[in-house]
Structure 1
Amino acid sequence: MASTSSSHSFTTCVLFLFFLYLSCFFNNLDAKHSITNTHKHKHQHNHNHIHNSPLNPRLYRAFLALQAWKHVIYSDPKNITSNWVGPSVCNYTGIYCAPSLDDPKITVVAGIDLNHADIAGFLPDELAFLCDLSLLHLNSNRFCGIIPKTFSNLTHLYELDLSNNRFVGPFPSVVLSLPSLTYLDLRYNEFEGPLPPELFNKAFDAFFLNNNRFTSSIPRNLGKSKASVMVFANNKFGGCLPESIVNFANTLEELLLINTSISGCLPQQVGFLYKLRVLDVSFNNIVGPIPYSLAGLSHLEQLNLGHNMMSGIVPVGICELPNLVNFTFSYNFFCEEEGICKNLTSKKIAFDDRRNCLPEKALQRSEKECSAKLEHPVDCFELCCVEGGLGNNVSAGSMAIPPSATAPAAMPLSAAPLVAPSHP
């Protein structure tokens, strides 16, 4: 009986030790698991800290600017700004970051391209926070209102394209304070009033002002800009093309003055623009002969004098220009063509000579119309122009015909050279 009791006590002791061992074993496993989780959590925390590090001050200001802009966008049918959420502005659609010009180690917002986004809204003052911006392209949207004065803070901006929008007000003079600006595109908006003479003292490579509501006249002193392209078309400037156009002789390659209500004679100085490839002064009130100086424009490819009230001879020097491919002088009162001008087809030059007073040519004006014009020749040396206004001619001893029923119709808005381009 005692033996049985001893055996039972021994078994109980063994089982107790066995369960104590298992308990220690599982406690160790729990401890190891807890330590592993703690290390894992710390690692994840450090990893997240690395990827969510605070923005540099310039990107933070850009974040504030873009959020303020998004707040005043009323329509975004293409959802371009749908991902303008959170501080990672370099991931926003249409926003482009690059190293700062003054410190390559700092990332900044350097460009904005929202061309053809069809966004409606306006430009808030907070865009001035984008002080590192070099490019701002907003072609073909529905932005409206005026250009903020705070744009003067964008001192690195060198390309500004606001074309094909609904901006209003006078010429945005704030752009004249931007020291780096070389490309200005304001076409197809509702800007109005006179152009500031200071515009033509800026070092622009190109500027496009067409299809607005600018009035007054082209400033007499065109300054010393270095522009290669100037487009004034489809405005109501009036007055004459000033002789100071010669200041662009070393750079100007394209001059478009279509439907701008300019009057008077073309100045001889136009012929000194020796780099000119395109000259279009159609749909205006220009009188007098073609300046002989135009025969010196050896690079000229496109010449359009159509829909004016010019008269006299079409000089052979124009028709013999080596690079001329298109010459339009229809709807004027030219009465004679010299030399090869009578047969431009033989030189493979596209031309339009309709509605003039050219003998033996088809589709010309009536004898009555031509006689009335020839009875009142224009003396360009004595002709004076009204400064501003609608471009009526005032003669000093001459008999210039003012705009009348023979004045040209409005230039079609769909003219190919005036379509605002898209930036890549």
Structure 2
Amino acid sequence: MKQLLNFPEEISSWSDNADFCNTEPSQILTLSCYEDSITQLHVTGNNWFPHLIQDLSAVSLFSNLASFPDLKVLSLVSLGLKGPLPPEIGKLSSLEILNVSSNYFDGSIPREISSLKNLQTLILDYNRFTGQVPDLIGSFPALTVLSLKNNSFSGQLPNSLTNLGSLRTLVISANNLSGQVPVLHNLTNLQVVDFEDNNLGPQFPSFPTKLISLVLRKNKFYSAISDGLKSCYQLQKLDISLNELIGPFLPSLLSLPSLTYLDIAGNKFTGKLSQNISCNTDLVFVNLSENRLTGELPDCLQPDSKSRVILYGGNCLSRRYQQQHPYSFCHNEALAVIISPQKQQEKKALWESSSCIKYGGRNWWWNGTSWPGLSGFQKKI
């Protein structure tokens, strides 16, 4: 290991007789032991390791690491490591925590990683991993933290995620993932979910009620939100902004007892707000902007201090601060949502094949440019 790391200053004095377990930790290198056996190894650079040789073989590195039979924690962060994550990772059978974030690992997750049956934390953030998140990800019975953010994973999430009964944190933000999210309702220990900046959708996912933070920002969800959110009494942060979510906004979300951060901006939520809606007094950020809300801004959302941020522009609220659309804008948009089919293919077929629709007990005929007498509808996708 000393040779592979090119003799950094912190270990330049090490010899075969060095007492590694009593070495003072440094900014770059930290060792921990139990009964004279190395159990933790943390090596941290700054996007590059100042002494690391350019042609370092990741295979050689992990092969040498396999000589530590009791290694439970391995953290190799910001070292500039390149190429695929070596299959030799499977030889570290005692690992409980693996963190190789902020490197240049690419390719897919090696199948040999499934040999790490004791794994509790897997962090692969800020690399260049590609391909699908493999089914083997569900083969870690003790996994509590799975973080894959800022990679290039694509395709659908595997259904095997539902096997991770101990999972508490699931972070897959900033990838190219798409399709429907598996039903995660039975993962009763799940507390932190971050799916930001993917192409997931269209149906709003199903989650357990112990959530503390839920971020679905910037995806392709365009259904109604789940009523189950009203029962998430521990929820502190909810960010579902920049989707195309429809249906009535649930005012009861504002009064969730633990909520401090709510962002629903950039959707198509409808509904009439009233001044007497109640809110959690601990709310510090609320963003209702760019929806189809009407009525009055609730009194409990009046910006009463510099520490509270309330945004509500781009709706049709009677309060004219923060620019509002005329009421007709939100009314017509709400009517259009009513007849929108659940599936995009069905919606496309309706507009392309029909010259007549039934709505409100009446037939409405298309004249080539509009539905006379029924405002707000357009013959387009």
Shared fold (TM-score, shorter chain, > 0.5): yes
Aligned CA distance change for structure 1 residues 222 and 376 (closer, same or farther; 3 Å): same
CA deviations 1:3-47 (Å, max 9, x no partner) are xxxxxxxxxxxxxxxxxxxxxxxxxxxxxxxxxxxxxxxxxxxxx
Which residue does the alignment assign to 1:303?
262
Aligned CA distance change for structure 1 residues 255 and 301 (closer, same or farther; 3 Å): same
Which residue does the alignment assign to 2:5?
none
Which residue does the alignment assign to 1:374?
331
Aligned mates of 1:220, 1:393 — CA distance in 2: 29
Q: Does 1:265 align with 2:237?
A: no
Match runs of 1:175-186 below 5 Å: 175-186=137-148
The answer on whether the counterparts of 1:281 and 1:305 sit within 8 Å (CA) in structure 2 is: yes
Which residue does the alignment assign to 1:205?
168
Q: Which structure 1 segments of 5+ residues have no match?
A: 1-49, 53-74, 99-106, 406-424
Aligned mates of 2:281, 2:17 — CA distance in 1: 63
Aligned CA distance change for structure 1 residues 312 and 138 (closer, same or farther; 3 Å): same
TM-score (norm. length: structure 2): 0.70
SS at match of 2:334: coil
Which residue does the alignment assign to 2:129?
167
CA deviations 1:160-192 (Å, max 9, x no partner) are 100100000111222211222111000111111
The answer on whether the counterparts of 1:78 and 1:118 sit within 8 Å (CA) in structure 2 is: no
**Pairing partner for 2:194 from 231, 247, 262:** 231
CA deviations 1:58-112 (Å, max 9, x no partner) are xxxxxxxxxxxxxxxxx96533479x99xxx99x8xx7998xxxxxxxx622221
User: How far is 1:350 from its partner?
Assistant: 1.3
User: How far is 1:322 from its partner?
Assistant: 2.6
Which segment is superposed worse, 322-331 or 344-353?
Answer: 344-353
Match runs of 1:191-202 below 5 Å: 191-202=153-164
Q: Which structure 2 segments of 5+ residues have no match?
A: 1-15, 19-46, 352-356, 361-373
Aligned residues: 315
User: How far is 1:119 from its partner?
Assistant: 2.0
Which residue does the alignment assign to 2:150?
188
Match runs of 1:11-410 below 5 Å: 78-80=50-52, 108-202=70-164, 203-220=166-183, 222-242=185-205, 244-245=206-207, 248-249=208-209, 251-314=210-273, 320-341=279-300, 343-345=302-304, 349-367=308-326, 370-377=327-334, 385-386=342-343
Aligned CA distance change for structure 1 residues 378 and 267 (closer, same or farther; 3 Å): farther
Aligned mates of 2:300, 2:180 — CA distance in 1: 34
Aligned CA distance change for structure 1 residues 136 and 51 (closer, same or farther; 3 Å): same
User: How far is 1:389 from its partner?
Assistant: 12
CA deviations 1:121-173 (Å, max 9, x no partner) are 22121221111111111111111011111111111111110010000011122
Aligned residue type for 1:175: I
Aligned residue type for 1:216: G
TM-score (norm. length: structure 1): 0.64
Aligned CA distance change for structure 1 residues 181 and 374 (closer, same or farther; 3 Å): same
Aligned CA distance change for structure 1 residues 174 and 198 (closer, same or farther; 3 Å): closer
Aligned mates of 2:337, 2:329 — CA distance in 1: 18
Aligned residue type for 2:50: K
Percent identical: 25
The answer on whether the counterparts of 2:315 and 2:330 sit within 8 Å (CA) in structure 1 is: no
Structure with greater proportional helix content:
1
SS at match of 1:187: coil
Aligned mates of 2:378, 2:136 — CA distance in 1: 36
Aligned mates of 1:397, 1:273 — CA distance in 2: 36
User: How far is 1:341 from its partner?
Assistant: 4.3
Q: What RMSD in Å do the two structures reach over aligned CA positions?
A: 4.2
